[in-house]
Amino acid sequence: MVLLNRRIMPAKARKGLTEAGTRFMMDTVFVLPSTPIKRPDYVSTTRMAGELRASGALFVDGVKKGTTRKLGESAKGVYQPDKYGGIRIVPMSHEACVVFNAPYATTQHESFPNKSQPGAGTGYMREKLYGNGKTYIAIVARAVRL
């Protein structure tokens, strides 16, 4: 039972959370409403259009498991987080955390500034969690099944 509780089930939980978190992260980028990628007449000397989309990262139990770095057009991923910045993970529990780390991510999620990409903007994460939550849970459940 010790082997089951301390090695097998945690490994299965992490595998399922990685699969579900990756699916959620990709859904935020490719399914409408999608993560904003650019604005009309975008001009900046400090970052390329798509840095918000390229700032996505998945952490499972505090370990980085995936990114959206290559999905932001010509973005360089300057806001890609290097380490987990969430709350302490309680022993014998597991967590998947998807973040979009650009400093303006919340503004883009909560309000709808003009976008040059139709369908991008408000609710790019929320809509996926509400609409696909059962799917993500089922992915984890399949992974932990013995």
Residue in the structure block whose two tokens are 């579900």: 20
- The pLDDT score that the predictor gives to residue 46 is 64
Degrees, nearest 5: CA angle 137-139-145:
100
Q: What is the Rg, in whole angstroms, of the alpha carbon atoms belonging to the chain?
A: 17
Q: Which two structure tokens, joined as six digits, stand for 77?
A: 């991923």
How many Cβ atoms sit within 10 Å of the Cβ of residue 97?
19
Q: Which two structure tokens, joined as six digits, stand for 68?
A: 């959206």
Q: Which two structure tokens, joined as six digits, stand for 47?
A: 């970052």
List the 96-100 sheet strands across, edge first.
63-67, 56-60, 96-100
Q: What angle do helix axes 9-30 and 126-144 make, rounded to 10 degrees?
A: 150
Q: What is the pLDDT of residues 46-96, one digit of tens each?
A: 666 788 899 999 999 999 999 999 998 778 889 999 999 888 999 889 999
Q: pLDDT category, 33, cuts 50, 70, 90?
A: confident
Closest alpha carbon to 49 in 115, 119, 123: 115
How many Cβ atoms sit within 10 Å of the Cβ of residue 82?
8
Q: What is the pLDDT of residues 3-31, one digit of tens each?
A: 999 999 999 999 999 999 999 999 999 99
Q: Is the model's pLDDT at 40 over the cut of 80?
A: no
Q: Is the model's pLDDT at 44 over the cut of 80?
A: no
